[in-house]
Amino acid sequence: MKKWMYLIFPGIMLGAFLVFFFSYQKEAAAREHARAEQVKKLADEKAAAKALAEKKDAADAKERQIAREKEDADKEAAKLAKLAAADKEVKDATDKALAEGDKAAKEVAKTEIELDTLRKAKDKLNREAFELAKQVELAKVAKRNAEFDIQRTTEMISRKAAESSLTAMPPPPPLPPAPK
């Protein structure tokens, strides 16, 4: 009997263990099922909250994107307006400079024509002055030649007169005798 004891007590204990195990297993399965449902419910709630948050984030992101695009469009429009204003300012300045350049070119052309006319007049006056100076010099030369001619003629006349017997002085009368 002693040998059978080694089988009977563990068999009874195994039976008691199996009774408690199977009853606990049913409770554990029920608790596990309830916990799984609770976890599933929490997961569904989290998923719903996450989906709601994602929708809200997507809507916020879309609003921010629209606001950013509007802001970018406003900045681009302001930039284009500023660029257009700068371009207009440069164009106006260029047109003004070109108009002043044309005016100056016309004035330069007019001044060059006047300068050419004045140069021609100066050349004409210089030629006239030269011709008059030439005539004065020729007149001086003619006057000198005339004076030389007059001197030569006068000298020739005086020489002929000196050589002529008609112009010779008669010999002086004899002097009376001197009183003694």
Amino acid identity of residue 46, one-letter, is K
State pLDDT tens for residues 26-77: 888 888 999 999 999 999 999 999 999 999 999 999 999 999 999 999 999 9
The pLDDT score that the predictor gives to residue 76 is 93
State pLDDT tens for residues 130-163: 999 999 999 999 999 999 999 999 999 888 877 8
Percentages helix, strand, coil for the chain (3-state, rounded to 5) are 90, 0, 10
Q: Say how far apart CA 43 and CA 55 lie, in whole Å.
A: 18
The percentage of residues in the chain with a pLDDT greater than 70, rounded to a whole number, is 97
CA-wise closest residue to 31 among 17, 23, 45: 23
Q: Say how far apart CA 10 and CA 17 lie, in whole Å.
A: 10
Determine the Cα angle at 118 with ends 116 and 123, to 5°: 95
The pLDDT score that the predictor gives to residue 180 is 64
pLDDT at 122 over 80: yes
pLDDT at 168 over 70: no
Q: Say how far apart CA 62 and CA 97 lie, in whole Å.
A: 51
Q: Say how far apart CA 136 and CA 139 lie, in whole Å.
A: 5
Q: Say how far apart CA 128 and CA 106 lie, in whole Å.
A: 33
Determine the Cα angle at 90 with ends 84 and 95, to 5°: 120
Question: Is the sign of the CA dihedral 79, 81, 82, 83 positive or negative?
Answer: positive
